[in-house]
């Protein structure tokens, strides 16, 4: 006797939501890989990281001398700058994928 197969009823909205989640996970993974490659293969980046490690202590000492309100304002600014940079990086990656696909389509690599 044949067992019946479960058929998945996927709405367009559900499909789009799953595709967006998959795409976001792909982007995050590719960015992580790119950053690892940068850390492992770029001496200039390594030098910047070393300099940042040194200046972190100096900045922390300066922040401790400030009033709580001022210190909080600087932390909030730096956090928002990091969030903004991450959003820009993600958008640049997405645009790069779009450009790559358009390039391949223009040269009939894909249809």
Q: How far apart are CA 32 and CA 45, in angstroms?
A: 15
Q: How far apart are CA 19 and CA 72, in angstroms?
A: 39
Spell out the domain ranges in the chain: 36-65, 68-111
Written as six digits, the tokens of 101 are 């696909």
14-68 tens-digit pLDDT: 877 888 888 888 888 988 898 899 999 999 999 999 999 999 999 999 999 999 9
Please name the residues in contact with 90: beta carbons below 8 A apart, sequence gap of 6 or more. 27, 31
pTM equals 0.62
């Amino acid at each position: 006797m044949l067992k019946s197969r479960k058929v998945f009823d996927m709405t367009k909205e559900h499909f789009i939501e799953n595709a967006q989640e998959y795409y976001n996970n792909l982007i995050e993974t590719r960015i992580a890989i790119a950053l690892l490659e940068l850390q492992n293969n770029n001496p200039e980046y390594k030098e910047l990281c070393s300099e940042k490690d040194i200046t972190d202590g100096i900045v922390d000492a300066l922040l401790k001398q400030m009033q709580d309100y001022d210190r909080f304002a600087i932390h909030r600014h730096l956090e928002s700058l990091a969030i903004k940079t991450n959003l820009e990086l993600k958008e640049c990656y997405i645009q790069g994928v779009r450009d790559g696909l358009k390039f391949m389509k223009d040269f009939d690599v894909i249809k």
